[in-house]
Amino acid sequence: MPFIIKNIADNIATITINRPEALNAMNLEVVGELHQAVNEAIANPTVGAIILTGAGDKSFVAGADIKAMSQMTKAEALKFGRAGHGLLNAIENAPKPVIAAINGFALGGGTEISLACHIRIATDNAIFGQPEVKLGLIPGWGGTQRLIRLIGKGKAVEMIAGGGIIKADEALRIGLVNAVVSPAELMTKAREIATRIVGNGPQAVRIALDCIRSGQDRSLTDGLEYELEAFANLFETAEMQEGTRAFVEKRPPEFRKD
Ligand code: DAK
């Protein structure tokens, strides 16, 4: 996997997109390798949270590879688009939280990858944008759909139709990211959040993610019913027994044996 660096420590998988000479721009090969790495982290039962970041100090992902796209036919573009959708759906539907640690440029497909993640932490020099219209394109990896759900229609249209950039402080103000930190603090902050997550009941985290995700596509009434059923189901799990018993016995719960 030349374009991906993987590391697993303390139940946290860190996946680094490693193509710094092209500011981590995504071609079909990078998309495929990243998808495989994400799938492996999802399938690994010792992993409770995933951090996704970019190699180098300049860029998270500077978008889809423009040089590769400039040569694509419509059929190839469809294949490339579908590969990106497959990757981003895998991230969004992951049963464990995926944290984007955004270290610089997150343009086009870079912003879109971060949108599929569950939590976004950015450095104070991070730059977001959907500049596809400047190339005669539109966002092709879910930007027109996920951005509106996160920051609302007005801001999404301004970003996508205007093609301008958004700096980290503005991204924080409009809810595009959860937190902004210095470059030196980025991975510490991401690991701090991941560590808190992996200390919790893995099944509860998975079910909570599922309720939150599926709630976006349901009416409030349906979503509340879905949550209620999921909540009740947890009363039959060993995890819930351990969590509540630990509270009563005034000790930390032991959810993980690994
Ligand atoms: N693609 C390919 N190479 C890239 C790249 C990209 N997106 N971004 C940067 N690079 C390469 C540069 O070409 C350069 O390589 P050499 O030419 O030296 O070999 C190297 O990275 C360093 O970049 P710069 O020299 O330009 O570095 P600067 O600091 O001067 O500028 C920059 C940094 C990020 C402002 C600039 O590189 C830039 O504007 N990059 C392009 C950003 C961009 O427009 N991103 C959006 C791409 S469009 C779809 C699927 C997906 C999409 C659309 C449709 N379907 C198939 C349906 C998604 C589209 C996009 O993401």
Mean pLDDT of 189-210: 97
> What's the 108 CA to ligand 1 centre distance in angstroms?
9
At 170, phi and psi to the nearest 5?
A: -70, -40
66, 104 in Cβ contact below 8 A?
no
Whole-model pTM: value is 0.97
**159 belongs to a structural domain:** yes
**pLDDT tens for residues 224-243?**
999 999 999 999 999 999 99
Mean pLDDT of 117-126: 98
Looking at the predicted structure, is the pLDDT value of residue 1 above 90? Answer: no
Range of the domain at 94: 4-198
Q: What is the CATH number of the domain that holds 150?
A: 3.90.226.10
Q: Cβ-count burial of 53 within 10 angstroms (0-12 exposed, 13-18 middle, 19+ buried)?
A: buried
**244 belongs to a structural domain:** yes
Looking at the predicted structure, is the pLDDT value of residue 258 above 80? Answer: no
Looking at the predicted structure, is the pLDDT value of residue 172 above 80? Answer: yes
DSSP-derived pairing of the beta strands 12-17 and 49-54? parallel
Residue 162 sits in the same domain as residue 94: yes
Looking at the predicted structure, is the pLDDT value of residue 98 above 90? Answer: yes
At 230, phi and psi to the nearest 5?
A: -65, -40
What residue ranges line ligand 1, CB within 6 angstroms?
22-23, 25, 62-67, 77, 80-81, 84, 105, 107-109, 131-132, 135, 137, 139-141
* Active-site residue identified among 29, 76, 92, 132: 132
Q: Which residues of 70-81 are buried (b: 16+ CB within 10 A; e: fewer)?
A: eeeeeeeeeebe
Residue 209 sits in the same domain as residue 144: no
Residue 216 sits in the same domain as residue 194: no
- The per-residue pLDDT of the chain, averaged, comes to 97
**Structure tokens belonging to residue 131:** 């500049």
> What's the 177 CA to ligand 1 centre distance in angstroms?
22
**98 belongs to a structural domain:** yes
**What is the domain count for the chain?**
2
Residue 128 sits in the same domain as residue 206: no
DSSP-derived pairing of the beta strands 165-167 and 127-129? antiparallel
- Whether 227 sits among the annotated catalytic residues: the reply is no
**pLDDT tens for residues 33-56?**
999 999 999 999 999 999 999 999
**Which residues, at least 6 apart from 110, have a Cβ–Cβ distance to it below 8 Å?**
24, 54, 59, 60, 61, 62, 63, 128
- Whether 29 sits among the annotated catalytic residues: the reply is no
> What's the 110 CA to ligand 1 centre distance in angstroms?
10
**Which residues, at least 6 apart from 79, have a Cβ–Cβ distance to it below 8 Å?**
28
pLDDT at residue 197 in the model: 98
pLDDT at residue 257 in the model: 79
**48 belongs to a structural domain:** yes
Q: Provide DSSP, 124-161.
A: TT-EEE-GGGGGT----SSHHHHHHHHH-HHHHHHHHH
199, 239 in Cβ contact below 8 A?
no
